[in-house]
A and B are shown apart, each in its own frame.
Chain A
Amino acid sequence: MKNKKNLVSNILTYLFLLLFCAIALYPVINVFTISIRPGDKLLSTSLAIIPDGATFNSYVELFTNRPFLLWMWNSFLVSGVVTFTGVALASTAGYALSRYNFVGKKSSMLGLLTTQMFPATMLLLPMYIMLIQLQLINSYLGLIIIYSATALPFCVWQMKGYYDTIPYSLEESARIDGCNKWQAFYKIIFPLASPALVITALFSFMTAWSEYIVAAQVIQYTELFTLPLGLKSFESRLGAEWGLYAAASLIVSIPVVVLFVVLSKWLVSGLTLGSVKG
């Protein structure tokens, strides 16, 4: 009797989960379907996942006749530098804010928080003017500065919050064991903060990887396009190349998925378990 009841509840649970999986996966599948439709059936309303006359032409087109690989490299370059900057600056700034007392500590933290209250679009104009004056229009440096500035406040705050949970006696112990302050940081505290570092890295990467609005203002030359700009260029006044659009969208999302899977192994809690009496 009990087994039967369990079976029914299991089936219901799985049905419920399947339903939500379907809701989550449907758009992705749909995009995939569109990407393999032959050119003459792009606006078809058929629900078949594999359409009649399926073809990978869009993918081939993307990599052969369009500068897609170049855009991808551009995006990797920008996102990579933003990620590196984010991790390097947020991990050290967060550490300073967590461990040291200095004049202006409180106000600088509040200042960082305040920047988060303005929508990015509002900052577009002043940023654009600044970049013009710095002659950084059509340069990745301009883009990287803006992306880093957008991502850093959040990253610094969350790194600081994480460092706060690491007991101070670990550094003290390291310093007595023979570390100077810097060694105590990178040999002991830095490895222990890896869950927070992963979040910082992911957040910085995502900030740069999928950003369109700022990039559209700063970058105007096709050869400098990042992926979101490239994708948008498949759209013209007369219509959109939906096949290319869909194929590119899928490929763009792959690095993000891979990054999540690879980094998730570091996203574990309880790293400091056992170090001190809790």
Chain B
Amino acid sequence: MAEVKLLNVGKVYEGGNVAVKDVSIEIKDKEFVVLVGPSGCGKSTTLRMIAGLEEITEGELFIDGKKVNDVSPKDRDIAMVFQNYALYPHMSVYENMAFGLKLRKFSKDEIDKRVKEAAKILSLEDYLERKPKALSGGQRQRVAVGRAIVRKPKVFLFDEPLSNLDAKLRVQMRTEISKLHHSLEATMIYVTHDQTEAMTMGDRIVIMKDGIVHQVDTPLNLYNHPSNRFVAGFIGSPSMNFVEGKIIQNNGLEFQSNNKKLEIPVSKNPERLKNHVNKKVWLGIRPEDIFEFSSRPDSNNLNEVNTKLEVVEPMGNEIFLYFVIEGEQFTSRIPAREKPNAGSNINLYFDSSKLHFFDFETEVVL
């Protein structure tokens, strides 16, 4: 097991296309790190550079303290699980898992032992003689995982391994991979575009967009302290609400939206916004920090806003309320109770202690 260190790593394709820019991440031994971001953000390219499938055009990559920029994939002691499984169709499940070990000249007994061990962990014992085409999607992905774990590599790489599975199987495999991480105590790097996967699986999450790392932190820190507007909007479902406006001085600092529909005092750390008085900012507030009357907490920080509900979505255990403030779509998440009617006017309460502010130009958190 080993640590992985990326130092100012970049990827420029022929023709000048920049896929990844100046990425520096230190992944600790036995850590589960998730690279997440919208499609085209460079997360897969970064993973493929760690695997050695893409050439690193800038910067340095270290695995277990050794610089591996020019080491071929087979000598990096890594294993990778692909999105489309990439099983060898002409080999049985057993042969698929044994392939890497055979190439590395392991003894027959050792190969047999390891394959059977992996098959047991992944409940594949009954399928060892089958060809991949005779397996279901979930089983195929398990074989792909098995092929990785028999090798006992230093680092496991996962490239969106669950995105081809149906929703139920995805949740199941998610917990299986998490369990595997705990039992193998391995360093794992996992790429996904699904923020739920990222939040639930990662020890730390790397958020990328346009080839740039926006924030590296634990899931809860990302959620509670996003470093910019993109991260704030990307993490969390439904995502954070944003509205533009400015900070004004009025018995203390206050946020005022462009058309004064929202006027909320800044009750937490107002000093951070001192330099932004009369400047444009983005206000961000999470759906669960907007309450309706009956479920509102007992707090001095609530600010009443009257608005018209556009859509009401009952989810069973909670209800999503959709409304518009100054042209921006807002969502509130309230506990399930009697459902308010779409089209009705309702008083909602914004918790001013839970506000996030972002610079209007740079979108960096204030």
Contact = CB atoms under 8 A, between A and B. Distances in A.
Given A173-B80, A192-B90, 15 more contacts: A167-B84, A172-B73, A173-B86, A173-B87, A173-B88, A174-B99, A175-B72, A176-B74, A176-B78, A177-B147, A177-B151, A180-B74, A183-B103, A274-B89, A277-B164
Contacts of B53: 172, 175-176
Contacts of A192: 89-90
Contacts of A272: 89
23 contacts: A167-B84, A169-B82, A175-B72, A176-B51, A176-B73, A176-B78, A177-B74, A178-B103, A179-B74, A180-B74, A192-B89, A192-B90, A271-B89, A271-B90, A273-B133, A274-B132, A274-B133, A274-B140, A275-B87, A275-B133, A276-B85, A277-B140, A277-B164
A70 interface: no
A197 to B, nearest CB: 13
Chain B CB within 10 A, most for which of A172, A177, A183, A275: A177
A119 to B, nearest CB: 40
Contact of A275 (B51, B78, B80, B89): B89
B81 to A, nearest CB: 9
Interface of A: 167, 169-170, 172-180, 183, 188, 191-192, 270-277
A176 B83 CA distance: 15
Given A173-B82, A175-B53, A275 B72 contact: no
B125 to A, nearest CB: 19
User: Which 6 pairs, one residue from A and one from B, show the smallest C-beta to C-beta distance?
Assistant: A274-B133, A178-B103, A276-B84, A177-B100, A274-B132, A275-B89
A201 to B, nearest CB: 18
A277 B84 contact: yes
Nearest to A273: B133
B127 to A, nearest CB: 12
A272 B104 CA distance: 25
Contacts, number: 88
B131 interface: yes
Contacts of A173: 80, 82, 86-88, 147
Interface in B74-118: 74, 78-80, 82-90, 99-100, 103-104
Given A271-B89, A276-B86, A277-B84, A176 B79 contact: yes
A75 to B, nearest CB: 33
